[in-house]
Structure 1
């Protein structure tokens, strides 16, 4: 074999070897790619299954949260609980002529929807209060629609509301509105919402300021309790007025929110201070006046009056309740000897047995009564005889 033939054989051999190697590599690469695709497909399938499992876990967690913030599954229970809550809240907000009707509900999958319509009359401030309390109740409910129409010659609005709530299966416990409650909403507390909303009240004229109309110069005796009821007037008759002390008030002087000044001075002299009154509208407006109290030496003690009969109707007259009737509070006094109930408002006088007095103010659990120029407090359940001063006992 010549040299040339040997070279040709070597070249052919190398080509054969290269062809075999290429064929083998191609089969290996194809198998590798196929296996890699299978692995990628299996990985994607695992990822999908893991994602589905995570979604299921999140869905179960959401369902558990929803079940904590929804009405019971039972239709009658849910409707009764929610209807009672609505009646309570419109009452607290001061709505008038209230009509609450359940609308037709419906079941969708695992939950049921309950709808109610509310029709009433109320000023914008009370509508704002109701809406704030509505969304403070942390349950699955919403105000679907709200319509406000101004009323002629009135600050009230005609209010029409439609609300919806949700009940979920497997929920049997009745939610407690006092526990399931937001302390404040996203923009703050009720006062923050009223300040923003009522400042743009398009339904009624602008807020007129109240005016203090009381005498500003007074005399008190050192060591004896001084009491005086501060008076104020507001052109907006339905506005509620509140009083507070301003600068310069002497130590121990107190002024109730309803306007009763009380003080037991311990030194002689002339004391000047400011008294302020403001209304409950937003934005609020106010009036301020300077008051003067001249403290003098106490007067000589009066002669002790003759003894009174042992039987006194005042010993059998009890303060039984304090309520709000319309825009004014009332003190209810039960006169057991005559099987009679007296309903007294601030400023009204009364005469029961040997006791004559005047209602100064009515609080949540007590009243302030002026008897013989002295103001005393009486709690619910106490007889009126215990409201007498030490000199009357």
Structure 2
């Protein structure tokens, strides 16, 4: 083999080695790629499984956290307890003529064991009742929600109150599988609601869309009352509310004379002035509308000296101008003639008759030859001829 052939054979050999090496390397590289792909697949699968485990742990923690808020696992107990709470809710917010019913007749349980109990609460009230109702509902940490809230103005259909609404609320409460038959009682938690009831009232009631704007009470801006030293003041604040079916309450704003009070319902001032002078105070009348409106009055009480005692005029005594003018014998017995100058008449009296002259009363016991004997309250007294009836009566009291 000459030199050229040797070189050709060496070249072919190198090419063959390179080809075989490439084939071997390709085979090895393919195996690495397959293993890497399997590793990547397994890694993703593990990550997915870890994620599901994490979700399960989070869900378990959430279930554990909300389990105390669940209704009872027992269908009967869950319905009875929530039904009782609805009664308490209606009473607390003072719904008028409330009624409540359970609207889910059959068990509404899903594949995971969660059970829904549906109820309906009906009643009448104002927008203030609705606001209070919703605030109390969402302050209670039950697993419950409102599905429908229907408000319909009653207008003049109920007591002519334009603010009255017919209220219908559909709600449901949830029982979860981890709940117990006898769940612990839940207390209301106002922190579950974004605002306080007062804040919601200010936001909602001040823009009541169901009735005309509330008008303030009508009240005179100033008033002066005269009173006497040592005598009780006789005055009641007389405010008028132009809105129907509203009540007024009265308060004192600021300082007032010592001991002075006002009846919140009637506005009557209760006070006795001990010292002379003028006393000023501010009285406020507030209505029961939404929002409540007020009017004030600057009241001045002038305490003057007490009036002099009233002297009763002396009463004219008829008996002082009456006397026995004659004793006359007749068929039916002796008569005593008593002439009353004031009355201009003569009273003819026999035994057993009643004498009535002014303040004097007496029964005739005997008509004698020159006298009459009478009895008054068990005391006997006599009247002589031409003697004043009043003088004879006084003499009889002394004797």
Instruction: Kindly report which structure 2 residues correspond to 1:239-278, keeping only aligned pairs within 5 A, or say none.
Output: 239-243=246-250, 245-246=252-253, 272-278=280-286
Q: CA deviation at 1:40?
A: 0.8
TM-score normalised by length of structure 1: 0.62
For 1:195 and 1:248, how far apart are their aligned partners in 2? Answer: 29
For 1:262 and 1:201, how far apart are their aligned partners in 2? Answer: 37
Which of the two has higher C-alpha Rg?
A: 2
Partner of 1:233: 240
Distance 1:78 1:158, change over 3 A: same
Cα pair 2:221 2:298 within 8 Å, conserved: no
Partner of 2:153: 150
Partner of 2:142: 139
Deviations 1:247-278 (A, max 9, x none): 66689988897668789999997554433333
Q: 1:117 aligns with which of 109, 117, 120?
A: 120
Distance 1:263 1:60, change over 3 A: farther
Q: CA deviation at 1:143?
A: 1.9
Distance 1:207 1:111, change over 3 A: same
For 1:191 and 1:146, how far apart are their aligned partners in 2? Answer: 21
Root-mean-square deviation (CA, aligned residues, Å) is: 3.9
Q: CA deviation at 1:283?
A: 3.3
Instruction: Kindly report which structure 2 residues correspond to 1:30-109, keeping only aligned pairs within 5 A, or say none.
Output: 30-103=30-103, 104-109=105-110
* SS, match of residue 7 in structure 1: helix
Matched, 1:199 2:206: yes
Cα pair 1:213 1:233 within 8 Å, conserved: no
Partner of 1:338: none
> How many pairs does the alignment contain?
296
For 1:266 and 1:17, how far apart are their aligned partners in 2? Answer: 133
Q: 2:182 aligns with which of 173, 176, 197?
A: 173
Partner of 1:385: none
Q: CA deviation at 1:149?
A: 1.9
For 1:49 and 1:228, how far apart are their aligned partners in 2? Answer: 84
Structure 1 unaligned segments of length 5 or more: list them: 299-393
Cα pair 2:280 2:298 within 8 Å, conserved: yes
Q: Which moved more, 1:37-46 or 1:18-27?
A: 18-27
Distance 1:204 1:17, change over 3 A: same
Partner of 2:217: 210
Deviations 1:329-373 (A, max 9, x none): xxxxxxxxxxxxxxxxxxxxxxxxxxxxxxxxxxxxxxxxxxxxx
TM-score normalised by length of structure 2: 0.62
Distance 1:248 1:21, change over 3 A: farther
Partner of 2:197: 190
For 1:18 and 1:249, how far apart are their aligned partners in 2? Answer: 117
